[in-house]
Structures are given as C-alpha cells and as structure tokens.
Amino acid sequence: MRILIVEDEKKVAAFIKKGLEEETYAVDIASDGEEGLHLGEQNPYDLIILDLMLPKINGLDILSRLRSKKIDTPILLLTAKDSVNDKVEGLNQGADDYLTKPFAFSELLARIRVLLRRGKAETKTTLEIADLTLDLVSHKVNRGDEEIELTGKEYSLLEYFMRNQEKVLTRTMIAEHVWDYNFDTFTNVIDVYVNHLRKKIDKNFPAKLLHTLRGVGYVMKV
C-alpha cells in the first residue's frame, strides 16, 4: 500500500512517515500544496493524508481539484482546524475522513486501515494463494504449517503480489507501490528483494508460486 502525506510541518510529516513505514506502508511526503497536488494527480496512491493549511495551495483546493478530475483515492484530512464548519466543509468537498491535531498515532492508523478496506471494498483480513496465507492484521505469513519470517519490505512486496494474483507486475509497477517516488528504478534492488522473498516462500516447497517473466516482470500464480 502506498500513501501520500501532504503536510508542511516537517516534524509531523516525519513522525507519520516513520510510523507508517514501520507498518510496512510505502510513504511519500509533499511539503506544500503545489507538490501535493502534482503527486496526487500523477501517482496511483492508495490513500492521501492531507493537511488543510498549506503553502501555495490549501488543502481544500487540492481536495476539490483531485475530485474534479475523478481521482477517487481515499483522502483523510489531518489538521488543527477543529470547528464543525471546517469538518463539514471538508467532507462536503469529498474527503473520506477527518482527524484533528494533536492526535494519537494509533487512532490515525485505525482510521487509515478502515479507509483502505473501504477503498478496496475489502472485508477479509487474510490473503491466500494455494497454501500460502498472509494475515493483514498480525502481519504473520504461513506456508502450510510453517510460519515464514519476513522483513518489512519483503512483507510489503508479498502483500502487493498477493493482492494482484495472476497479474503480471512490472518493475515500475512494483517500485510505485512498494517503494516511494525517490526510488532509483535503474538499480537491481527489486530483483534482489524478489529473490530473497522467493527463497523464503518457494524454495523449500514443491509448488512454486512466484514466477519471473524474463524482460517483463513477475507474476504470482499457482
């Protein structure tokens, strides 16, 4: 899952980014409204966390412009403006939820999870393919009766593959959803991580699930 934070307070943005990355999300930060609007228009985010009071372009204008372009990415407004009128205006403009500062990170995380489930029309808490299961709540991964230990990035990569079973995923698609927009696509980091993941989920099992399409990308299938 890839999340955009549009927040001009650097400490707040860094705090949220760190917490979300620990939860295996890929996170981009925009420090002003102009950059936030550009990233929101150009990239396929799963969620946008949007401050209202921003330099260059304010949050409500960003929200309005994204919705006018039929970009339906779930948007969570995060701001110090806590009046009822501010909340109503934000929701009327097309926001999906509203959280005021200061906030507890646990509440922010819970709201994010709800919006992501809603955005994906998802109610289940596990992903499965053959005998491989991934628990979206506990982050535990099992192949048959064996629990598999993964790093945060390996988990994010596996989750992306399992959400897109039978689909060919190019390196560019993987970079966009699992890494952030500063990722250097000319490195072989993606191939290295895929190989590490394959060794953990496939090497000791007769049925191979993660396949390479040479010159194209990867696909997870039975």
Phi (first) and psi of residue 182, to 5 degrees: -85, 0
Domain boundaries, the chain: 2-119, 126-220
The CATH code of domain 2-119 reads 3.40.50.2300
pLDDT tens column, 129-153 = 999 999 988 899 999 999 999 999 9
- For the chain, which ranges sit under pLDDT 70? 82, 119-124, 181-182, 185
pTM here is 0.69
pLDDT tens column, 151-175 = 999 999 999 999 999 999 998 888 8
The CATH code of domain 126-220 reads 1.10.10.10
Question: How many CB atoms are closer than 10 A to CB 139?
Answer: 13
Q: Which helix (H) or strand (E) holds 90?
A: helix 84-92
pLDDT at residue number 194? 96
Cα dihedral across residues 184, 117, 163, 18: positive or negative: positive
